[in-house]
Amino acid sequence: MKTILFAIAFFSASAVANAEPTGGRSIDPSWIGQQDSVLRAAAPDVAWRQTDPDQWVGPNFARWGDMSFDANVLAGPMGEIDFSHTEQVTTSAQCESAFLALVAALEPRFGPFQWDTRVLPNQEFLVHTNGGSTVMVSAWTEQPVQAAPPSRFDDPLVTGFGARTKRLIGQGDSGAELLLLGDRDGFGCELKVQLRMAPSR
The letter for the amino acid at 26 is: S
Say if residues 95 and 108 touch (Cβ distance below 8 Å): no
Say if residues 184 and 159 touch (Cβ distance below 8 Å): yes
What does the pLDDT read at residue 127?
93
User: What pTM value is reported for the model?
Assistant: 0.85
100, 123, 95, 94: which is closest to 112 by C-alpha?
100
CA-based torsion, 184, 87, 75, 61: positive or negative? positive
What does the pLDDT read at residue 187?
86
| Average pLDDT per 10 consecutive residues for the chain, totaling 201 residues | 37 35 72 94 94 93 94 94 96 97 96 82 84 95 89 94 95 87 93 91 49
Pairing state between β 80-88 and 125-129: unpaired
What does the pLDDT read at residue 124?
87
What is the DSSP secondary structure assignment for residue 23, as one 8-state letter? S
What does the pLDDT read at residue 49?
95
Q: DSSP 3-state assignment of 58?
A: strand
Q: Could you state, in order of their start, the residue ranges of all structural domains in the chain? A: 30-197
What does the pLDDT read at residue 172?
73
